[in-house]
Structure 1
Amino acid sequence: MTTTIPFTPAVEDRALSSAPLRLTLAPAGAPPALIDGAWWPRSRNLTEQLPALVECLDALWGRITRVAVSRTFWPVIPGKVPAHGHMVRVGWSNAGQDPHELSLLSYTFGRWELLVIPPETAPATAARLMVTAADPSRNLTASGLMHEAESFRTMAEDEADSDSMREAVWESESGHDARHPTSRTPVGAVIDHLPTPAEGM
């Protein structure tokens, strides 16, 4: 079971990011894993996005004192960011840090790792990643989860292309005859089989 945090920053921080935080974490008490959850920021502006994340996790994990990120994902990395009455140091690495991972060090509990889902990710893919990253039975790195999601998306697209090709072949072989109304599929039957946005996720 995963936990999704519907967190909104404190009033004084809303100028930085007024939208609710998109964060999911592994259940409390779950065995240690390579990834402790996923964060789906709304932009690649770390100065704007990080304070709300830290404020939320401060309440759950104890005061966050340091964050480590990959330079691959964030175009500008500030040395420090304010978060709920204290400053958090931000470090980066090109070599040692998974490009899709964000590490948080807590004064009280130690170190935590989150998958960072790119802001431009399609909602269905992001939702799948958030659930997978918070599943304690999975043992993939952040980049491993992203590669898995990309493979899943590619397979889904290939399947859709294959379905379209089968339909085109069927129609070219007179499977659909406009001269015989009884051979047409009622519009209602087609609509009933279209996936809803919720099913797509």
Structure 2
Amino acid sequence: MSPKPSSPASSRVPLPCSDFDPGQPSSSSSSNASSSSPTNTTDTVPDCPFCHIASTYPPYDPSNPPPSTSPLLSSEATFPQPATFMILSTPLLIGFLDIMPLSQGHILLCPRAHRPKLTDVRPAEAAELGRYLRVLSAAVAKATGVPDWNVVQNNGAAAAQVVPHMHFHVIPRPELRDKKSERFTSTMFGRGQRDELDDDEGLELAEKIRRAVAEVARGDAEGPKL
């Protein structure tokens, strides 16, 4: 991977990649990419962090993802914001690791174009979201070894949506039933202590999940074995 500009973690500009903030809710198709330049999207909002990611990272073929060393995944373009660890990038969708994960492998999936709520999503995007929610769920379970997970999607500030760009959360759920019920409930609904994703860990984990996505996508293309 191209070297990333060095910057102390404390000087980073936080990128709000999750609706699951501790405390109260805020008020506020597969394709081969022939070019390394970002996709031009007319439906963008300049100050939206997810639109920024969408305009920075071009599509690639999910069944044949580029390695972490590829310029397609270079994080230099997002500096001085935290690195974005891409999991999926199609002409219609982007998927990436949450920078404040609830668990290892917590990812976000959203339309490439700016769609504030689920009801704003176009039919083709909705079909693609449904398809890749299943693919990403299978890939995250395979990559993390955690067989249980949540799929969560919030609409509007009252529903705890922080970033007004529609997105799904896929959150692996390690075994928690042996914990106190209060701790389980707190973790289940996204409150409590959360740590920022480590860059080295994010790089390794994203590569692992991308490989798992490719496995699932190739399996889908081949169809069931008779």
Query: What is the TM-score of this pair, normalised by structure 1?
Result: 0.29
Q: Relative CO higher for 1 or 2, CA cutoff 8 Å, sep ≥ 6?
A: 2
Larger strand share, 1 or 2: 1
Q: Which of 1 and 2 has greater Rg?
A: 1
